[in-house]
Amino acid sequence: MKGLVWLRRDLRLHDQTALSFATKECHEVELVFIFDKEILGKLKDKTDKRVSFIYECLKEIDEKVGIHVLYGDPNIEIPKLFKKIKADKLFFNRDYEPSALKRDATVMKSISKVASYKDSVFFEPHEVLKNDGKPYTVFTPFKKKWLERFNNLGKNVSDFKVKKSKIKRPTQKFNEKIFKKIGFTYNPAIFKGGESFAKSELKKFEKKIDRYDECRDFPSVDGTSNLSVYIRHGCLSIRELINFSLKDSNKGRDIWLSELIWREFYQMILAQFPKTIKNCFKEKYERIDWRGGSKEFRAWREGKTGFPIVDAAMRCLNETGTMPNRLRMVTASFLCKTLLVDYKKGEKYFAEKLLDFDLAANNGGWQWSSSTGCDSQPYFRIFNPYTQSEKFDGDGIFIKQWCPELRGFSSKKIHSPADADMIEQSEASCRIGVDYPYPVVDYKRKREEAMKMYKEGIST
């Protein structure tokens, strides 16, 4: 039997479920990835680093075993290739986003023999439910049930072996000409795509995971895993990551495992409640009259709000496509609860910019920050950008990196440079309102306005 394995969010050869089963069942296997015309058509920036990252992942796979790389409509191109290579069975790993489920259902109608597998999550959205069969909407009991199920398996984290010798290399060579075909320009990200680079980052994380709980919130310290983009594109398997977290027992590893479970929680929420893609999980929050305008939103996007920690975070995002989770919460809270701009606008902007963009995590994170989602922070909890800045970037190292015009300010003044007098501004070689903007809003006044806006919205 000949198999065709369709790669999507699983760009690796190690511990790859669909590929493992295909190489067990078939005497010969070919791989395919398709640049979806509809998805790429929605990307305005034709130098989008994510496209280049995927290209690098595919290039590594092609160099090792070979792969068909197509461009077009998967509903047409996958059945066409299946027929062309005279395959007997299609293999792929499941994707739980509503649009992906619809796509896969259409493809399966065109091919008689198909097998799909669980791979991107350890437990699928229907596998961790309440005793009454209903989905959880609060993380802590979900996590407890997840761990209970996991422990009942005897912490059995399988490694799906792949027989690479059975993979046949296509005659057509895959190279950078694909960029011309898809209408994009090669623009490498700060993280290089590919399984080998993912494993290299995992090895680096090994040296700091034990202090992950202490360091992850400080943007000037390299305390995060730097793995999110690799996890998003499946360059590492979820099983390998869970095994990695269980190598030792300490708070850092426990928190890291908890983050992996948060990821599955949001995958479950999206699958069980697809309405959250366009609507608030808490329906009453749909009635909020967001008062922030285009001026505030533009200042936030460009990193020109006059609030240094927010501006530094947004400039970092715009330049690199990355942002530590602490700053994602700070900037999201600031947009919704200080600038009073609809969270959906911020969610969409992050979707355009984040290297590790994942619909479930991005939607879940924004609804958490804006208090519109399940198990979100209460609406009256509003991150103070000044205290967040002082607590997590005390010496202003991160701020100075991304807002170089503020480098002359002291550690005391850099968090709120607008409070500096003219002498201090002169000594810092930075005039507020000229070299760096005044705060676009008054934080204290906007905090009160936000409370009123939320109260009025949810009570009508």
358 located within any domain: yes
CA dist 114 → 54, 67, 144 (Å): 25, 19, 34
Co-location of 114 and 125 in the same domain = no
DSSP states along 261-284:
HHHHHHHHHHHH-GGGGTS-SSGG
251 and 395 together in one domain? no
Q: Which of 272, 302, 328 is the last residue of a domain?
A: 272
The amino acid at 173 = K
Tell whether 380 is covered by a domain: yes
DSSP 29: E
Alpha-carbon torsion, ordered 216, 219, 222, 228, to 10 deg: 70
Residue 259 belongs to domain with CATH number = 1.25.40.80
Tell me, yes or no, whether 310 and 262 share the same domain: no
Q: Does any domain span residue 177?
A: no
* Same domain assignment for residues 92 and 140: no
**418, 432 in Cβ contact below 8 A?**
yes
Question: What is the tally of structural domains in the chain?
Answer: 3
What is the radius of gyration, based on Cα positions, of the chain? 24
Residues 217 and 264 in one domain: yes
Question: 338 in a domain, yes or no?
Answer: yes
Which CATH number belongs to the domain containing residue 109 in this structure? 3.40.50.620
CB neighbour class for 387 (10 Å; exposed up to 12, middle 13-18, buried from 19): exposed
**Which residue type, as a one-letter code, is found at position 293?**
G
Same domain, 369 and 420: yes
Q: Is residue 92 part of a domain?
A: yes
User: Domain check: are 295 and 337 in the same one?
Assistant: yes
| End-to-end CA separation in angstroms for the chain | 62
Place of tokens 């968090």: 415
DSSP 117: E
Q: Which domain holds residue 305?
A: 283-459
Each residue's pLDDT, cut to its tens digit, for the chain (460 residues) gives 999 999 999 999 999 999 999 999 999 999 999 999 999 999 999 999 999 999 999 999 999 999 999 999 999 999 999 999 999 999 999 999 999 999 999 999 999 999 999 999 999 999 999 999 999 999 999 999 999 999 998 776 878 999 999 999 998 888 899 999 999 999 999 999 999 999 999 999 999 999 999 999 999 999 999 999 999 999 999 999 999 999 999 999 999 999 999 999 999 999 999 999 999 999 999 999 999 999 999 999 999 999 999 999 999 999 999 999 999 999 999 999 999 999 999 999 999 999 999 999 999 999 999 999 998 889 999 999 999 999 999 999 999 999 999 999 999 999 999 999 999 999 999 999 999 999 999 999 999 999 999 999 998 7
Q: Whole-angstrom Cα distance, residue 262 to residue 204?
A: 23
Same domain, 263 and 299: no
Q: Which two tokens stand for residue 272?
A: 């069980």
C-alpha distances in Å from residue 306, one per residue of 214, 299, 331 = 29, 9, 13
User: Do 339 and 311 reside in the same domain of the chain?
Assistant: yes
Same domain (yes/no): 358, 382:
yes
- Please give the helix or strand (H or E) that residue 329 lies within, else none: helix 325-337
In a domain, 394, yes or no: yes
Give φ, ψ of 303 to 5 degrees. 70, 45
| In a domain? residue 453 | yes
CATH code, domain carrying 412: 1.10.579.10
114: enclosing H helix or E strand: strand 114-117
One domain for residues 418 and 331:
yes
Token pair for residue 154? 């005897």
Does some domain include residue 164? no
Q: Are residues 214 and 326 in the same domain?
A: no
Residue where one domain finishes, among candidates 99, 118, 137: 118
Domain final residue, candidates 225, 251, 272:
272
What predicted TM-score, i.e. pTM, was given to this entire model? 0.96
